[in-house]
Structure 1
Amino acid sequence: MKLKAILHDPIDKPFDIQGHKRRAREYAQALGVEWEDIKGPDWISSCMERSLISEGIIQEFDEIRHPFAESLIRDNFLRFKNEVFEVIKDITDDMGNVLPKEDDKKFLYIWRNYQEKLIKGSNGCEWKKYISLFPADTRVPDHSIWEHAKVTSAINALWDDENKNLLQNNSLFLFSIGPVQTFISQARKTQDLYMGSFLLSYLTFVAMEKIIEDYGPTNIIYPDLYKQPLADWWLEKKKIDVINSQSVYVDQPTIPNRFVAFVPQSDEAELRHLGEEISRKVREEWGQIVFKTMEGLNITCPEDKVEKQIKRFPEIYWVALPLKIGDRDIAIEDLGEIFESTEKYRDIWQFAVDNGEYSPNLGLLYQIIYSSLEKLIGARKNLRNFEYTEEYNKKCHLCGEKEGWIKAGHGKLRVGRYIGDNEVLCTCCFVKRTMDSYLKDKFKDISPNPFEGYSFPSTAEIAISDFKVMCLDKSIDDFKAYVETFKKIVGEARTKELTVKPLPRIINKYGDFDNLEGEWFFEENLTPRQFKKQAGASPEAEQINELKEKLRNIGEKVGIPNPYYAVIAIDADSIGKWLSGSKLPDIENAYNSSVWQNLPDHFKANLKDKAPRKLLTPAIHASISAALRNYTIEFVRRIVEEEHLGKLVYAGGDDVLAFVNLKDLFGVMRKLRASFSGQIKIKDGAIDVCWENESGFVEKEGVYYLTMGRNATASCGAVIAHYKTPLKLVLDKVKEMEKKAKNIDGEKDAFSIALMKHSGQVKETICKWKYEDMDVLEMLMNFANKLEKKDDELWVSKSFIYRLAEEFERLKRDDGYLLVSEAAFEAELRRIIGRTSHGKKDARREMVENIVRDLSQLFSSMGTFLDRFTNLLEIATFTVKAEE
């Protein structure tokens, strides 16, 4: 049934609605599937997507609507019709020759590869870029045929033609795993942070496996599993050939800690069994990770102690809402106990009865059903799963909650990568740090295995990455000589333990090489104590001096390394409201423009009164999932790791956490924010910010990708810190800054940065991404570049920032706002910059005026908040040259 459901409509349906069933039959037969008009699932999913349209309306294919914005693509798509039919038929015929024979594998192959084959096979065709956007209905072109097919294949329903009755048996299921922030942020090393993120993502996928094994991946409505690395890995385990497989990126946590699914049953006992079975699978996998990891390091402990510590993790919550009660479908009245008022949904239902093309069915209630599900999971989380048991012995140095008992000397464990000198860890925190050995075996069939020799870069490695790039460009022989001298001191084997994989961008450019851990390039660490503590070596003074001399030789050519790095946390604003439908655009934006224009005025007025916004449907949910997946898979990784010196911790769709080299901070922040709304363009293979792109679609490699669109915003918290600052303090500060960004003047869509100097001084600022036509970070990057001293060129001494702050220190309120007029501020700004600028007179005057214009506009836009303004400028200069 699922195979027939996913093929019930042809992908080229919008090009000829009248003949679409004939073409669907032909394509299905070419794929070895007996076509059937799947009325039950199709009618429910169609009602979910387009029930609020009057009878008899016909519309040619001339628009594609963005599902979450007011934007659209308008074209005469029918000019491609004949070529579309010909190419799709040829590709479908060819695909029929390579399909697996078993129906379940055939379904998986088609779900994952059909779109990829169409894109690849339509090279040179102008319409190729629209393939992923082909609408399911030309009258309501705000969701694609792919989303419609996915939802249809997920619904368990049947049309009883004899009794003219639509029968269905489904439930909506929501699963959540945690704790998220506390578990992830309990970290002393970057490896702890990353592995905590990966573990939650991986265990959530383990929970999904029960659903996708029994019912298929399309039953997961959120997140979208299409092109997800873990999903591609799962397919490959099933011996499914995956085109453009993403499984090589399986080490990147891209699955959020919750999922929503359709399950084809409504019996309470069966649903309870399903929830318990999924929970059991997750706990069993966690137990296996613990057992195998500790066994690999030959660490033994009384079983009851381990069991006591691991049973509290993870916290699992799930709820299921049956869409069938007894022999009837769930009705609005059944949800009255959850909502104070259901009048809105009653009115919409009645409107569909009176005016819709078809009689409404269960599909029209999806928004209230999903909202009920969210309320139920909220109530469920308020109930405790178990009683907390206090552990009174020495606490774990990582979480500070459970008893710490694992330390260097246990089994094969010694001071180094996995454990620090005098460090003591509990079972959970230790396994979180060391589970890469388990993952290496788990993903052994992937080539190259992403966990082979795995290491996550330290804060020192992130900070020093630009220094290493300069070494490889300008001083490669000195760099190699330094590493060789280090090897002579600590030995080949120990040096290998102290090497790490370079950042992805460095590997892509220079290949892999002996990359000594970053902290060993800071002269302050070249001491007998550090060698003993970190490397177990006792070098002579002459050896250390020789090493220092070689490091200084490098420094003379490329400069000394910067000890500061940055952490970025970017989070979608109001994602809960998007998922609940309350942020969707006005209802008219669901319709083709001509269709809306030609609807009777009384119909439109009545509809807007009953449903002012678009209704949430599974297709819209699937579209949100697809947009967030595109953000994560297509853009985030590319921005952070390929175009800049950064390393992702996680990218779960609506949130991103990453480490970046200080010089790339503003560039990464700016691109991450713009790409979330799709306000970018791909130019010469690189991502450029393009605020003018308000379509919500991004063309990449000849294909349009759906994004969240211009109405969706994101806020960012960032921290600049010294590599020796305790990571826990930095992570806590990042979350604090993210919250501040989301509360700027009662609004969101902003960034907040804290500069945590090694001296203990902290500078903070909060700012909007844009003020009218000013792109703040772009302006600041240009401004900061003028603060570097250049021979025979224009530049400004950064001392002007401190002079400005001093001048107005006594002329500001206690809360940091300036008391003098903006005109007086601008005049003083001009005077100070003029006195601290350098270069030829005429050019210098022009530079000063440009800087004054930009900074005056920024100061005014920030509400004349002097402290925020001067801190922002100081942070901008710090990204160019970090100085205490």
Structure 2
Amino acid sequence: MAEKYHLSFSIGPVQAFVTQARRTRDLWVGSVLLSWLAESALVAVENEFEEKFEQGTATTILPDRSGIRGKLTSIESGFGGIPNRFEIEFESANDAARSGTVAQQGFQNAWQTACDAVWMMIGEAEQSGNATENIWKRQTESFWELSWIVASPSGRSKTIGDMAAARKLIRNVPVTEEGGVKCSLMHEWQELSGYERRDDQTAFWNAVRRCSGVGTLDLRDGERLCAMALIKRLLPAVDTQVFGRSFQQKNWPSTAFLAAMPWLHEVQQNPTARAAADAYVAAARKAGVCQSEVEAAKDAEMPWARIDAPAWFTTSIHNNEWLMEQSDTGMLIKQLDDLYRVTAGRKPIPFYALLLMDGDSMGSLLHAIKDPTALSQCLSRFTSGVNQAVKEHGGRTVYAGGDDVLALLPATETLAIADRLSHEYQRSFVGVLEDTSEVQATISAAIVYAHWKQPLRQVLQHAHRLLDDVAKNATGRDAVAIGIVKGSGLNAQWAVPWKTLRELKMIRGDESIIHRFQESPSGDAEKKPVFNASFLCHLRDQFARLIGRLPEQPGSFGLMHDNFQANEKRQDILLALANSEYRRRLSSEDRTQSLDETREFVRPLVELTRHVIRGEQPDTRKVGFDGWRVARFLKQVDDGEMQDHE
């Protein structure tokens, strides 16, 4: 069999480019642009060696390019979908070697197109800067790290992916930190004005704001951006020049709109509430509230909800973020309270969710399948259905390509969507992996429920840490890690294997155990006790006697005293304490329930305190309470009853 040669081409830095975002649109544009740049590099090779591909002496291994070879199609999806690494197989070593240079040139040509379009837009402000053009060129020409290797996979102990990862550790240029005042988003890079004095910086950025095509919402007061951040921010205004077509949607929903969306849908279904909402919108516009959610509201089929989404939250009106007259503030608060009453006292939940997913052990998976093309096709089947699942529940896909997913969603359905996608990932490999194979296709996830005011960059940082360090490394993969981020930072961190999550019935539904975590029961409180804050606080105090010191940090566990040696004894004691505390709250009438009945009812409370690692027996010495916090939070989200204290 003739030896084959593989080109593995990688683009970086991904996180530094995509995740340094203030607005949801920054995140989305960064993802779309990076995908387009990667596809431009790939298409350059496919077109340069078109005859070889036609003859079958060249084949794209990763990503799956069935039916679209030589075409730029990524921009059509509306989200990022091309991985930052691609692999192509050649029969000729010379062709493989030359293809790396072709790919690099294709990438650089595409990047230069984007740079030139944005520079033409803001170029007239250059005279207000201090060597701004020099800063622009230095940054745009040195930011990207392109690396590739050519190797033959036959007889190698390492995969091409392993060797490509090793190649990326060899830097072509030294890392240097720029001088001057730093960018508001990408803190390692100098902002473009080139000035040290604040007044001079302000004059430059005001000149940028006056440039044709720069919208009133594109640059907020005080923002000073580097070249890369400004390209992401202004790219939607020059999309036709860069991509040859216009984005279908140039403004993404804000985190506040994503948080409010489930409640806004309830308002839409209630004619009385809709009338009250229309009156509120009119009053808010008159008082000076802007209409920044026009496209997002239209896309959600709620065009009436076009005002700044923070205006749906009483705290924002109290804080007077629009510098309104005091009389207008009082009037809007009254109208908003009236609107809340019309919706049965339900208010918009001030939390949205960020979902990050990544396939597990791809090297082992490839070794089991033995066919990289088949692996690529399986991944393509999976990602092709991601956006539909996310859109069905009002979310937005930022990236879905290879074995990775990044999406922003309303908080209500995120856990169910993540569970659905984990099943879909496994189904994508049916017929390719044997059921008896030691290696199975699994995917891990991180879900961060964040207050809409939390900086997006911090939320993304929490998500990546939860996925890599907690779901994968600490929980053994095929797992989900959940974090709740409030104004004070990370409030809760809980991780379990998917199998455990499903056994606990944490997914939203009629049989979900989260329904037991309500603040006050419907009906007679004495007859229907629930796992409310008071009950959980007392039970935690009871458990604390057995572990000495309560765990202080989110995601941490306390250790039971050494005199409780047997696993069964530890669990029996915890279960007995939970059952005793629960039965103490039962009415005399309901105490006729047997001990076994109430024990099974409270058993999930003990299960939620366990430290579970995939493939291992739970360490029953460890007791943690983040599972309770997450369950209570999910119930509050489900009920639409959560105080906004931010």
- TM-score range for the pair, normalised by the shorter chain length: 0.7 to 0.9
Could you list the per-position Cα deviations for residues 456-486 of structure 1 after superposition, in whole angstroms to 9, with x for gaps in the alignment? 2222122111111111112222222222222
What is the aligned-residue RMSD (CA, Å)?
Answer: 3.5
2:86: which partner in 1? 259
Q: Distance in 1 between matches of 2:46 and 2:150?
A: 17
1:879: which partner in 2? 634
2:558: which partner in 1? 816
Report the AA paired with residue 739 of structure 1: D
2:426: which partner in 1? 677
Aligned residue among 213, 220, 227 for 2:60: 220
Aligned residue among 179, 185, 190 for 1:403: 190
Q: 1:878 Cα shift?
A: 0.5
Could you list the per-position Cα deviations for residues 704-742 of structure 1 after superposition, in whole angstroms to 9, with x for gaps in the alignment? xx9x99811122222222111222222211111112334
Could you list the per-position Cα deviations for residues 584-603 of structure 1 after superposition, in whole angstroms to 9, with x for gaps in the alignment? 1xxxxxxxxxxxxxxxxxxx
Are the equivalent residues in 2 in contact too, given 1:405–1:426 (CA < 8 A)? Answer: yes
Q: Distance in 2 between matches of 1:804 and 1:227?
A: 60
Q: Distance in 1 between matches of 2:460 and 2:365?
A: 27
Could you list the per-position Cα deviations for residues 567-597 of structure 1 after superposition, in whole angstroms to 9, with x for gaps in the alignment? 2211111113323x1xx1xxxxxxxxxxxxx
Structure 1 window deviating more from structure 2 (512-521 vs 796-805): it is 512-521
1:285 matched to 2:72? The reply is no
Are the equivalent residues in 2 in contact too, given 1:201–1:254 (CA < 8 A)? Answer: yes
Report SS of the residue matched to 1:181.
helix
Q: Write the mapping of 1:195-210 to structure 2, written as runs, cut at 5 A.
A: 195-210=29-44
Larger of the two Rg values belongs to structure? 1
1:461: which partner in 2? 257
Are the equivalent residues in 1 in contact too, given 2:475–2:495 (CA < 8 A)? Answer: no
Report SS of the residue matched to 1:802.
helix
Q: 1:169 Cα shift?
A: 8.7
1:622: which partner in 2? 373
Aligned residue among 473, 476, 489 for 2:287: 489
2:202: which partner in 1? none
Structure 1 window deviating more from structure 2 (465-474 vs 272-281): it is 272-281
1:480 matched to 2:480? The reply is no
Could you list the per-position Cα deviations for residues 330-358 of structure 1 after superposition, in whole angstroms to 9, with x for gaps in the alignment? xxxxxxxxxxxxxxxxxxxxxxxxxxxxx
Q: 1:272 Cα shift?
A: 4.5
Q: Write the mapping of 1:346-495 to structure 2, written as runs, cut at 5 A.
A: 366=153, 368=155, 371=158, 373-405=160-192, 407-412=205-210, 416-442=216-242, 451-474=247-270, 475-490=273-288, 495=290
2:517: which partner in 1? 787
Aligned residue among 547, 550, 560 for 2:335: 550
Report SS of the residue matched to 1:219.
strand
Q: Write the mapping of 1:828-843 to structure 2, written as runs, cut at 5 A.
A: 828-836=577-585, 841=590
Aligned residue among 774, 796, 800 for 2:530: 796
Q: Distance in 1 between matches of 2:298 and 2:517?
A: 28
Q: Distance in 2 between matches of 1:709 and 1:457?
A: 43
Q: Write the mapping of 1:68-467 to structure 2, written as runs, cut at 5 A.
A: 171-213=5-47, 214-215=49-50, 216=53, 219-226=59-66, 234=72, 249-263=76-90, 265-267=92-94, 271-297=96-122, 300-301=125-126, 302-321=132-151, 366=153, 368=155, 371=158, 373-405=160-192, 407-412=205-210, 416-442=216-242, 451-467=247-263
| CA shift in 2, pair 1:367/1:786, >3 Å | farther
Report the AA paired with residue 224 of structure 2: V
Report the AA paired with residue 278 of structure 1: A
Report SS of the residue matched to 2:380.
helix
Q: Write the mapping of 1:404-803 to structure 2, written as runs, cut at 5 A.
A: 404-405=191-192, 407-412=205-210, 416-442=216-242, 451-474=247-270, 475-490=273-288, 495-497=290-292, 499-502=294-297, 507=300, 510=301, 512-526=303-317, 530-532=321-323, 539-558=324-343, 559-579=346-366, 581=367, 584=368, 616=370, 620-634=371-385, 636-642=386-392, 644-678=393-427, 696=430, 711-743=440-472, 747-760=476-489, 762-771=491-500, 774=503, 776-778=505-507, 782-788=512-518, 789-792=520-523, 796-799=530-533, 800-803=535-538
| CA shift in 2, pair 1:427/1:857, >3 Å | closer
| CA shift in 2, pair 1:483/1:843, >3 Å | farther
Report the number of matched residues. 582
Report SS of the residue matched to 1:720.
strand
2:552: which partner in 1? none
Q: Distance in 1 between matches of 2:310 and 2:388?
A: 27
Could you list the per-position Cα deviations for residues 165-185 of structure 1 after superposition, in whole angstroms to 9, with x for gaps in the alignment? xxx696321111111223222
Are the equivalent residues in 2 in contact too, given 1:721–1:756 (CA < 8 A)? Answer: yes
Report the AA paired with residue 633 of structure 1: S
Report SS of the residue matched to 1:567.
strand
Q: Distance in 2 between matches of 1:844 and 1:318?
A: 68
Q: Distance in 2 between matches of 1:667 and 1:652?
A: 20
Q: Distance in 2 between matches of 1:839 and 1:254?
A: 60
Could you list the per-position Cα deviations for residues 791-810 of structure 1 after superposition, in whole angstroms to 9, with x for gaps in the alignment? 34856142222222121113
Q: 1:779 Cα shift?
A: 8.3
Q: 1:869 Cα shift?
A: 4.5
Could you list the per-position Cα deviations for residues 596-622 of structure 1 after superposition, in whole angstroms to 9, with x for gaps in the alignment? xxxxxxxxxxxxxxxxxx6x2xxx212
| CA shift in 2, pair 1:254/1:395, >3 Å | same
Q: Distance in 1 between matches of 2:411 and 2:463?
A: 15
Q: Distance in 1 between matches of 2:63 and 2:157?
A: 15
Q: 1:526 Cα shift?
A: 2.4
Q: Distance in 1 between matches of 2:310 and 2:171?
A: 44
Q: 1:778 Cα shift?
A: 3.3
Q: Distance in 2 between matches of 1:470 and 1:837?
A: 35
Report SS of the residue matched to 2:347.
coil
1:852: which partner in 2? 602
Could you list the per-position Cα deviations for residues 241-292 of structure 1 after superposition, in whole angstroms to 9, with x for gaps in the alignment? xxxxxx785211111111111235322xx55443223212211211211221
Are the equivalent residues in 2 in contact too, given 1:200–1:257 (CA < 8 A)? Answer: yes
Report SS of the residue matched to 2:29.
helix
Report SS of the residue matched to 2:409.
strand
| CA shift in 2, pair 1:171/1:872, >3 Å | same
Are the equivalent residues in 2 in contact too, given 1:503–1:641 (CA < 8 A)? Answer: no
Q: Distance in 2 between matches of 1:541 and 1:292?
A: 44
TM-score normalised over the length of structure 1: 0.60
Are the equivalent residues in 2 in contact too, given 1:665–1:879 (CA < 8 A)? Answer: no
1:827: which partner in 2? 576
| CA shift in 2, pair 1:786/1:378, >3 Å | closer
Report the AA paired with residue 870 of structure 1: F
Q: 1:317 Cα shift?
A: 0.8
Q: 1:436 Cα shift?
A: 1.7
Could you list the per-position Cα deviations for residues 171-201 of structure 1 after superposition, in whole angstroms to 9, with x for gaps in the alignment? 3211111112232222222222222222221
Q: Distance in 1 between matches of 2:340 and 2:548?
A: 45
Are the equivalent residues in 2 in contact too, given 1:567–1:719 (CA < 8 A)? Answer: yes
